[in-house]
Amino acid sequence: MPDILQNVPENDPLRNPDQKKLIDQILEVNRDRPGATMVVLNELQKQIGFVSEAMQAYAAKELKVPVSSVHGVVSFYSFFTTTPRGRHVIKFCMGTACYVGGTPQLIEKAKQLLGIDVGQTTPDGAITLEVCRCVGACSQAPVMVMDEEISGRVRPNKLPQSIRTLQD
């Protein structure tokens, strides 16, 4: 297998000086913490937005752990993504109360409005559509999370308006 770090793709965050600096900073701060892999990956996901293959290899090298164990962690947890998401993420909660409360209908409507499937990003890179686990706002089911913001009691006919606020 060719060394990934020898062939870092042109558009990888590791090639972007600002992002590279951020990545190094995250690694530096957390290097000596016990169980650093999870902490580092959580930070990378949060601050860079995804963890590319090259970033995984780089983190493994810096943390002195096998690439396989970093990749094992990345592929295990649903929060880590290996490709960039859209500038905005719309998530629909699939907890029991939301499921019973109408999330499936909302997802159909959102798919129609955005013209994409769950897990995909609109071609302009604006919005990613996702389904997520219970966000714990069950008394307001069905719940939608736009970026970090939770809205409850969402109705399908209100969706176009909410989505438009993200597109502007």
Partner 1 sequence: MKYYRSHVLVCVDPDCLHRGAHEALDAFQDELVAQGLIDEVQVLETSRIGACSQGPEMMVYPEGVHYAGYTVDDIPFIVEEHFLKGRVAKKFELPAETAIDEELSAPTPKEMRVVLRNCGQIDPENIEDYIAENGYMGLAKALTSMTPEQVIDEVLASGLRGRGGAGFPTARKWQFCRASAGQVKYVICNADEGDPGAFMNRRVLEGDPHAVIEGMIIAAYAIGSSQGYVYCRAEYPIAVQTLNIAIEQARAMGFLGQNILGTDFSFDLEVRMGAGAFVCGEETALMASIEGKRGEPRPRPPFPAVSGLWAKPSNVNNVETYANVPQIITNGAAWYAGFGTEKSKGTKTFALAGDVKHTGLIEVPFGLSLREVVFDVGGGIKDDKGFKAIQTGGPMGGCLPEAYLDLPVDYESLTAAGSMMGSGGLVVMDDETCMVDIARFFMEFTQEESCGKCTPCRVGTKRILEILDRICGGEGREGDIELLETLCEQIKQDSLCGLGQGAPTPVVSTLKHFRDEYEIHIREKRCPAKVCKALIRYEILPEFCTGCTVCARNCPTAAITGERRQTHLIDVDTCIRCGICMQVCNFNAIVIR
**Residue ranges in 52-111 that form contacts with partner 1 under rule CB under 8 A:** 69, 72-73, 76-80, 94-102, 104-105, 108-109, 111
Q: For residue 44, give the nearest of 147, 137, 98, 52 by alpha carbon.
A: 52
Q: What are the CA-CA distances from residue 93 to residues 12, 15, 22, 90, 102 (Å)?
A: 31, 35, 31, 10, 10
- Which residue number, 8 or 95, has a Cβ lying nearer to partner 1? 95
2, amino acid identity: P
- Which residue number, 84 or 156, has a Cβ lying nearer to partner 1? 156
Query: Smallest distance from the beta carbon of 87 to partner 1, in angstroms?
Result: 19
Q: What are the CA-CA distances from residue 2 to residues 5, 61, 65 (Å)?
A: 9, 15, 18
Residues in contact with partner 1 by the rule CB under 8 A: 34-39, 41-42, 45, 69, 72-73, 76-80, 94-102, 104-105, 108-109, 111-112, 132-141, 148-153, 155-157
